[in-house]
Structures are given as C-alpha cells and as structure tokens.
Amino acid sequence: RHRSTPRLSRFSFLGGRRQKPRRRGEVEGAYVDLYSVRLLLMLLWITLMNVADSFFTLVHLQHGGTEVNPVAGLLLTTGLSSFVLLKSGLISLALVVLCVHKNFHLARLGLWVAAIAYTLLFAYHLSLFGV
C-alpha cells in the first residue's frame, strides 16, 4: 500500500475492507474500514442512554425539577423539541468522532467513560422516580 487508510473513505460507508491493521505494531492509532459488533453495541447503548436522559430530563422538569447541567440548561432555552434535537445531534457528532478514532487510547477511554456515565445517569433518573 502506498498510503495508510484515511479516516473516512468510500469504504467506510460502502462495505469496508479492513477491520484491523496489517501489522501488530500498527494497532494503536490506525484507521480501519470496518467496525466491530461490540463497538456498534456500545454506540447504540450510549445513544439509547442519551435518549433516555433527554426523556427523563423533560419529565423531571415538567414535575418541578431543575436542570443542573449548564449546557443542557442553555439548550433548554431553545425549546423542548430543539433541546432534544440539539442534544442528540451533539452527542451523535461526538460518537462519530470517537467511533472513527476507535484505535486511539483516548477515544476508547472516551467511549467507556460515556457508557458508564450515561448508565449511572440513567440509574440516577430511576432513583428520582423511586424505582
């Protein structure tokens, strides 16, 4: 090969060619065309937890609760529908960046932190309901 695989290529969306780098020493920081089912499931979990967070936030606000996250508070000033769309869009953009950079240590750490944080936030929302 004359050059390494680019971050995004036609193979990213139309059936990739490579799931892992060719040589063992190239794993860290390498870009690939295909992504694992495990990564897909993690991304879906984070997305599901983000949607649940938006839903529970709106329910709590309708029952007199307050938003403690200043970024979400700012997004709420745009309206309820805009809040959900903007929040989902921002998180989706971050997930795309983390997915493309999945072979970088910091991106893997970011995915795990996001999954754990959203799971804990989901548990917190459930505790507010007394479940």
From residue 108, alpha-carbon distances to 19, 77, 84 in Å are 16, 33, 26
Question: What is the predicted pLDDT for the residue at 17?
Answer: 57
pLDDT of residue 28: 66
DSSP symbol at 24: G
Output the pLDDT for position 103: 84
Helical spans, DSSP H, in 1-131: 10-13, 37-62, 70-76, 80-100, 105-128
Block mean pLDDT (10 aa), the chain, length 131? 67 58 60 79 96 93 89 91 92 93 91 96 90 62
pLDDT number for residue 24: 59
What's the predicted TM-score (pTM) here?
0.75
98, exposed or middle or buried, with CB in 10 Å at 0-12, 13-18, 19+? buried
Note the pLDDT of residue 3: 73
Q: Given this model, what pLDDT does residue 2 score?
A: 73
